[in-house]
Amino acid sequence: MALLKAILFDARVPLSDAAPGVDDRLAAVLDAAVSLDPSRRPTCARAFAESLRPFLGLQVG
């Protein structure tokens, strides 16, 4: 039950803290996608996909 409560209510660790090498702009898109605040999340899968489009050619590492 504690895990479920944490998933539903606890603040998320920003991706840039968990994975410092991730591009800050990409981290912001992904952080918004998992936000507890629905107004920060993409409105639909298409909007999320479009927000990821600029990172398709991003080099990792």
Encode pLDDT of 12-41 as tens digits.
889 999 999 999 999 999 999 999 899 999
Q: How many CB atoms lie within 10 A of CB 14?
A: 14
Q: What is the pLDDT of residue 40?
A: 95
Domain boundaries, the chain: 2-55
State the distance between the two ends of the chain, measured CA to CA, in whole angstroms.
37
Give the rounded percent of residues in the chain with a pLDDT score beyond 90. 67
CA-CA distance, 33 to 28, in Å (whole number)? 9
Q: What is the pLDDT of residue 23?
A: 93
pTM beyond 0.75: the answer is yes
Q: What is the pLDDT of residue 7?
A: 82
